[in-house]
Structure 1
Amino acid sequence: MRKDFSLQQRITATPWSGKETTEFRGPLLKDILARNNIAGARELEIRAYNDFMARISAAAIEDYSPILAIEQRCTEDDRNQSLCEPNQTFRSLSIDDGGPFYLVWPLTDLPASYVPGRNSIWVWFVVKVRPI
Structure 2
Amino acid sequence: MYSIDKLRNEFELHERVTATPWSGEKAISFRGPLLKDILEKNNIAGTREFEVQAYNDFMARITGAEINAYSPILAIEQQCANEDRISGLCAANQTYRPLSVDDGGPFYLIWPLRDLPQAYVLGRKSIWVWFVVAVRPVP
Shorter-chain TM-score range: over 0.9
- The question of 1:36 aligning with 2:51 is answered no
Q: Distance in 2 between matches of 1:112 and 1:24?
A: 21
Q: Distance in 1 between matches of 2:14 and 2:118?
A: 24
Q: Deviations over 1:55-75 (max 9, x none)?
A: 000000000000000000000
- The question of 1:88 aligning with 2:133 is answered no
- 60-69 or 106-115: which moved more? 106-115
- Which residue in the other structure is 2:15 paired with? 9
2:134 to 124, 128, 131: 128
Q: Distance in 1 between matches of 2:63 and 2:14?
A: 21
Q: Distance in 1 between matches of 2:112 and 2:92?
A: 28
TM-score by length of 2: 0.94
- Which residue in the other structure is 1:70 paired with? 76
Q: Offset at 1:111?
A: 1.0
- The question of 1:110 aligning with 2:116 is answered yes
**May I ask how many residue pairs the two structures share in their alignment?**
132
AA paired with 1:59? A
Runs of 4+ in 1 over 2 A off after TM superposition: none
- Which residue in the other structure is 1:24 paired with? 30
Q: Distance in 1 between matches of 2:42 and 2:119?
A: 30
Q: Secondary structure at the match of 1:15?
A: coil
TM-score by length of 1: 0.99
Q: Deviations over 1:48-90 (max 9, x none)?
A: 0000000000000000000000000000000011000000000
Q: Distance in 2 between matches of 1:106 and 1:119?
A: 12
Long gaps (5+) in structure 2: 1-6
- The question of 1:60 aligning with 2:66 is answered yes
Q: Offset at 1:107?
A: 0.1
Q: Offset at 1:113?
A: 2.0
Q: Distance in 1 between matches of 2:29 and 2:21?
A: 15
Q: Distance in 1 between matches of 2:13 and 2:27?
A: 19
Q: Secondary structure at the match of 1:6?
A: coil
AA paired with 2:29? E
AA paired with 2:105? G
